[in-house]
């Protein structure tokens, strides 16, 4: 073997070893940290909570999943659904649910052909409509894993904590696509939850996220990235979270489960 070939082989082997060491470091220090259950004991005195859900043309999902949010084992909470320019039967579904659940509040954004907006406007309307300091966010196609979801997610809101990151997974179904979606979601969660548990929070997911209303109103809100269609969850957390004000909830009863994409084209569109 020539000298040039030996050097190239040595460089390749060195890069491989360096990459392996770096991966092991992140796995051992950050990713595996998220497997530790750090649920806190729920205090007897539970502060009031506002759950906010933004929905556009989600009539079927609201009918199927919203009751689980409205039936939480929690003494004082409201559920605000922002009906964002829906053209389906969302208004009818919400009106029917409100007859059974008086703590459901509905805010409606009417469609305007001259004005287009992203989800962040709906989020702002929901936040301003909330009467409580503690805000808990999820999506219309999400369902809490248990009746203790609100209790567990908000139990960390004590001392200096203003943000709580939770896990939002997807329903298990048959097929390779579903396995890939759940693996990808789990691996991303291992990263952002593990990093946050080590004092380096950088993102969260809107399927399961809590923060204080005052943090949003007294800060910059979405203003620094309002022009970007997404980012109401990850970019907001990135701009406001730190080692002191952020907590993580990993208990299985605090998870939410979403409806997964059932085709590659649907996944690509998401």
* Residues in the chain with pLDDT values less than 50: none
Calculate the average pLDDT of the chain. 91
State the pLDDT at residue 38: 64
State the pLDDT at residue 137: 98
Structural domain includes residue 3:
no
Q: How many domains does one find in the chain? A: 1
Structural domain includes residue 14:
no
State the pLDDT at residue 2: 67
Structural domain includes residue 32:
no
State the pLDDT at residue 184: 94
State the pLDDT at residue 40: 65
State the pLDDT at residue 128: 96
Report the CATH number that the domain containing residue 141 is assigned in CATH.
3.90.550.10
229-264 pLDDT, tens per residue? 888 899 999 999 999 999 999 999 999 999 888 887
State the pLDDT at residue 28: 75
Structural domain includes residue 235:
yes
State the pLDDT at residue 219: 85
State the pLDDT at residue 39: 67
State the pLDDT at residue 193: 95
Would the pTM of this model clear 0.95, i.e. be above it?
no
Structural domain includes residue 186:
yes
d(C-alpha 104, C-alpha 54), whole Å: 13
d(C-alpha 39, C-alpha 75), whole Å: 19
Domain with 203 in it? 45-269
State the pLDDT at residue 230: 86
State the pLDDT at residue 269: 77
Structural domain includes residue 187:
yes
């Amino acid at each position: 073997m020539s000298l040039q070939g030996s050097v190239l082989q040595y460089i390749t082997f060195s890069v491989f070893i360096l990459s392996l060491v770096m991966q092991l470091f992140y796995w051992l220090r950050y990713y595996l940290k998220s497997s530790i259950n750090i649920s806190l004991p729920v205090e007897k005195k539970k502060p009031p909570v506002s759950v906010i859900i933004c929905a556009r043309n989600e009539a079927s999902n609201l009918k199927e999943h919203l009751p689980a949010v409205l039936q939480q084992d929690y003494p004082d909470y409201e559920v605000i659904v922002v009906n964002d320019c829906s053209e389906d039967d969302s208004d009818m579904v919400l009106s029917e649910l409100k007859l059974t659940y008086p703590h459901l509040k509905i805010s409606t954004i009417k469609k305007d052909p001259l004005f287009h907006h992203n989800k962040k406007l709906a989020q702002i309307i929901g936040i301003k409509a909330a009467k409580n300091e503690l805000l808990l966010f999820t999506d219309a196609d999400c369902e809490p894993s248990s009746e203790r979801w609100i209790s567990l997610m908000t139990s960390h809101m004590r001392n200096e904590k203003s943000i709580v990151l939770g896990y939002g997974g997807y329903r298990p179904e048959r097929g390779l696509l579903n396995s890939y979606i759940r693996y990808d979601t789990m691996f991303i969660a291992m990263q952002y939850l593990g990093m946050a548990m080590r004092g380096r929070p950088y993102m969260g997911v809107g399927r399961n996220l809590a923060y204080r209303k005052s943090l949003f109103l007294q800060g910059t809100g979405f203003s620094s990235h309002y022009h970007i269609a997404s980012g109401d969850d990850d970019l907001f957390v990135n701009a406001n979270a730190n080692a002191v004000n952020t907590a993580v909830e990993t208990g299985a009863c605090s998870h939410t489960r979403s409806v997964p994409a059932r085709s590659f084209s649907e996944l690509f569109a998401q």
